[in-house]
Structure 1
Amino acid sequence: MTRAPTPFSGRVIVGFDGSDHAVRALDRAADEAARRGTSLEIVCGWPWGKHPLPDFGVTDDTGKLLYSSARRMMDAATERVRDRAPQVAVSESLTTESAARALLRCGRDAALTVVGTRGHGGFAGLLLGSVSLRVAAHCTTPLMVVRGDNGDEHHRVLIGLESDADTDALHFAFQEAQRRACSLRVLHAWQYPAAPHGSHATSYHLTWDELEHLRKGAEAVAQYAVAPLRETYPDIDVHTDTVCQQPGKALVEASRNADVIVLAAHRRPRRVGLQLGPVTHAMLHHAHCPVVLVPVD
């Protein structure tokens, strides 16, 4: 029996700064809100730190001009969403908080937070810069990073499964396939253990039986994880797949034929704070489709 997934509910959040990449994220966020039947909130952190919001009694003319520009930008974004998805209730938040802090705060009760691949102003380097990496490292609900330049639809959701402990991500992937009425590919990439270095390396080897045992164990990972969910989602056409390859490389290649890839966000504590794993970094930099990170407790 699998553990019940963490309940994700509420609205869709999108980080917006007016850049072309942010517009792509805005369009995707509108589609995601429509698909989920939820509202959409457009969030912009105040991007001009030395010019506080004039609402706070500041008389700086430059600050007023920048504020007016930001308001027009947000209003235009709202109109774009209404034209694209008129059934979606949309709101906008222009805040004095930093972009990362605003997205993390607003995303605490969100069904999904959406960001673009890079931007300017308040979302400098949005992705892969400090703002988006901070959101990815600290988000507590699913985060979608809109990347990839292939507009073709493949009618497939892809999930990179590290182990059968990625329960929340697997549930999310099934639900995403259900929302999109498409198939689901569950991919587990693994590698044979590397030979140790040093004086004992020459005596290190695995027998054929040991290698076969490792291969069969790897093949069982996705099959075992998916088995309990086939009954929960009987209408989903799900395929399990195992490849002996470096996981980041395997998932980047597989993302060419997917509409979205889902990953469990394994964050590891470091002296400088939480850090994303190498596979997650590879996907955020190189995936050919949007990437959804589902936080792991």
Structure 2
Amino acid sequence: MMLRTDAPHAERVVVGFDGSDPALLALDRAAEEAERRTASLEVVCGWPWGLHLPKTDTDPREKRQPPTSRTRPDEGQMLYDAGRAVTDAALERVRSRFPDLRTMPHLTTEPAARALVRAGRDAGLTVVGTRGHGGFTGLLLGSVGLRVAAHCTGPLLVVRGGNAPSRGVVLVGLASEADGDAVRFGFEEARRRGAALRVLHAWQHRGVPGVLPAAELYWEGADDQRQCQAAVPAFATAVLREEFPDVEVRTESVYQGAGQALVEASADADVVVLATHRPRHPLGLQLGPVTHAVLHHAHCPVALVPVT
């Protein structure tokens, strides 16, 4: 079963929703992102995802007549009604806060990860929450969220934390020139937000332990190596600086583990953007250790941009 209204690719933001508190944070952020992009918002919901039914004004002490075989709906109808109730509550919340935003329900019986990957396949952005108990909640702490992050084909925004004050900074983690799509996404995001862009390249010499900050003391040619590494973010942003002259850009190269560097830098950012490199594994696509570290420990939302 599926209830959905389609909209063009870049004009649609998708959000997974099950009625929980983390999902509400994701819903609110998705609505903001849709408004920022002048896009429509598609709310994806379904069963069985451990749905959290909306609260009602019914007095719990009120006695109810026991259901009879004639009035009791079957299990499938009950699950469908629960999904519709949660979806309707989400749409009402969005419309009360963003009355001009176009919203679309997407009610499905697909498993949560598969449904969200499918819905986000032709969307401009997919948004999910974290730290819940089932369905789309608990993301990045459980298998559902990891599958979504590993298999999504478009940009994915993972909402972490509450509504922190704006820092006015978009942070991009840059590993190499292969991360060009993520750098472009960072420029676009900075322009949409009216924020500055910080492109951070973290690197380490293989022969020197990462805990040693003064790495130049341990091998010859350290100055040349440091200059080469500093050129990586400068080169990656050179052309885009001309295309986005209104975006303030700062590039930085640090001798540090990439995961630790990005988690620390995320404390001063509104969003951190990463390219997702997903090497093949006997059990399927896998996320790299840096992506795992940032998803679990970043201080702000994390945007994953698949490498094409």
Q: Which of the five TM-score ranges fits, normalised by the shorter chain? A: 0.7 to 0.9
Aligned residue number for residue 151 of structure 1: 164
Aligned residue number for residue 38 of structure 2: 37
Residues 254-287 of structure 1 deviation map (CA, whole Å, 9 limit, x = unaligned): 0000000100001010000000000000011000
Aligned residue number for residue 126 of structure 2: 113
Aligned residue number for residue 254 of structure 1: 265
Aligned residues: 273
Letter in 2 for 1:231: E
Task: Give the conservation status (yes or no) of the 8 Å contact 2:11–2:37.
Answer: no
Q: 1:247 to 1:108 in 2, by over 3 A?
A: same
RMSD over aligned Cα atoms? 2.0
Aligned residue number for residue 136 of structure 2: 123
Tell me the SS of whatever aligns to 1:188.
strand
Q: Distance in 1 between matches of 2:162 and 2:32?
A: 17
Candidates 267, 290, 295, aligned match of 2:301: 290
Candidates 269, 281, 284, aligned match of 1:270: 281
Letter in 1 for 2:273: V
Letter in 1 for 2:182: A
Tell me the SS of whatever aligns to 1:165.
helix
Tell me the SS of whatever aligns to 1:122.
coil
Q: Share of identical aligned residues, percent?
A: 62
1:195 CA drift (Å): 5.4
Q: Distance in 2 between matches of 1:208 and 1:282?
A: 29
How is 1:184-195 mapped onto 2 (pairs within 5 angstroms)?
Answer: 184-194=197-207
Verify: 1:280 aligned to 2:284, yes or no: no
Q: 1:124 to 1:207 in 2, by over 3 A?
A: closer
Q: Distance in 1 between matches of 2:227 and 2:15?
A: 42
Verify: 1:182 aligned to 2:195, yes or no: yes
Q: TM-score, normalised by structure 2?
A: 0.84
Q: TM-score, normalised by structure 1?
A: 0.87
Aligned residue number for residue 234 of structure 1: 245
Letter in 2 for 1:239: R
Structure 1 gaps of 5+ residues are: 1-7, 50-58, 197-204
Task: Give the conservation status (yes or no) of the 8 Å contact 1:150–1:289.
Answer: no
Task: Give the conservation status (yes or no) of the 8 Å contact 1:190–1:218.
Answer: yes
How is 1:59-98 mapped onto 2 (pairs within 5 angstroms)?
Answer: 61-98=74-111
Consecutive aligned runs of 4 or more in structure 1 exceeding 6 Å deviation? none
